[in-house]
Amino acid sequence: MSNFNHSQQSQVFLQKNGSQPPNLPPMDEYGDLLPQLLSGPRKCEKGAGLSWLLKAFELFRDQPLLWLAIGVVYLIIFAIGGSIPFINFIFPFLSFVFIGGIIKGCADQSAGKELRFDHLFSAFNTHIKPLIILSILYAVVLIVAMIPIALIFGGMAMSAVYQSDSFALISVVVGISLAFILVTPILMIIWFAPALIVLHDVKPMQAMKMSFRGCVKNLLPFLVFGLMAPILMLLGTLFTLGLGLIVLLPIGMITYYTSYRDVWTDQPLSAM
């Protein structure tokens, strides 16, 4: 008995009475640390753009039928929702909610947890408000950007009526180039935003700023990614009579997650 009392008295308690337990970093079911958000974006090698596609394919390959089901149902939902009057104005604002659920599914699968079909709808229960706010902000920015694009194309179309065919062709090329210059920053402000919102509870406006910073710091990887993705899409269309697009759709959505892991977390997938 005396030895027992002595051992009790000699114990050292790191937590004071009445105090809150320390906040430990989130871990997976195996006790390994989950990816932690960096204070600033990582600058990746230019080859990371290809790696994002390859890592996305690896996640798809582990659960191909389930990912195909998620992709097909996603398309069906938006095809039906987009064809119903009045509702078709609401559906575009739900796109990021579905993408947020897909990203949550990627995170769970990557952490060794089960990928479930209902991951597609999971963000409706957890982050519907910030993701809809993100959609509204994105729509506002896109509309503002469309005004100068419409003016540019309208002016060039009017000029082309009174000019030669060669001038009309040059006008189209210049117009498309200017449209690309205006739209690209808009894509940059939303690329990482859904992942930052659903996985780290970042506020929508802050997530957009962080997304833009991450893209600016990784222009070369995104250039490689932007060149490779259309090539794969074209090949998938030509050699499978269009059926390959059913596979490429979920892989494309998974790249939201694989690129986020490389740029914004302390556990980049390209290093694994």
Q: pLDDT by residue (tens digit) across 171-190?
A: 667 667 777 788 889 999 99
pLDDT at position 143, please?
87
Average model confidence (pLDDT) across the chain? 83
Look at residue 12 in the predicted model and tell me its pLDDT: 38
So what's the pLDDT on residue 167? Answer: 62
Domain boundaries, the chain: 42-271
* Bigger pLDDT: 272 vs 199: 199
Three-state secondary structure string covering 31-61: CCECCCECCCCCCCCCCHHHHHHHHHHHHHH
Q: What is the pLDDT of residues 3-57, one digit of tens each?
A: 444 444 443 334 445 545 455 556 655 556 789 999 999 999 988 999 999 999 9
Average pLDDT of 246-266? 94
The yes-or-no verdict on residue 208 having pLDDT over 70 is: yes
For residues 138 and 208, what is the distance between their CA atoms, to the nearest angstrom?
Answer: 9
Rounded-to-integer distance, Cα 108 and Cα 259, Å: 16
How far is residue 117's CA from residue 163's CA, in Å, rounded to a whole number? 56
Looking at residue 2, what is its pLDDT? 43
Judged by average pLDDT, the poorest of 2-16, 48-62, 106-120, 160-174 is 2-16
189: exposed, middle or buried (Cβ count in 10 Å: 0-12, 13-18, 19+): buried
User: Is there a contact between 238 and 35 (Cβ–Cβ < 8 Å)?
Assistant: no
What is the predicted pLDDT for the residue at 178? 74
| Nearest of 144, 141, 173 to residue 156 by alpha carbon | 173
Asked if the model's pLDDT at residue 139 lies above 60, the reply is: yes
